[in-house]
Amino acid sequence: MKQVQTEIMADIRQIYGRNQAEKRQISGRYFINILKKYGRNMAGLL
């Protein structure tokens, strides 16, 4: 579980930059991509 959360945050930082990721400002489109990549349960980690 923790490993998946780390991977999600790494993906977010890669796209939005560290500060944006820490503020958890995620666009709707990217959030949908998270759902597709990790599944609905994994998206709950955000």
For 14-35, the pLDDT digits (tens) are: 766 656 545 555 566 777 777 7
Q: Show the domain range for 6.
A: 2-43
Total domains present in the chain? 1
Q: Per-residue pLDDT for 8 more than 60?
A: yes
- Give the Cα separation of 22 and 37 in Å (integer): 20
Q: Which residue has the higher pLDDT, 21 or 10?
A: 10
Residue with tokens 């780390």: 6
Q: What is the mean pLDDT of residues 35-42?
A: 69
Confidence of residue 1 (pLDDT cuts 50, 70, 90): low
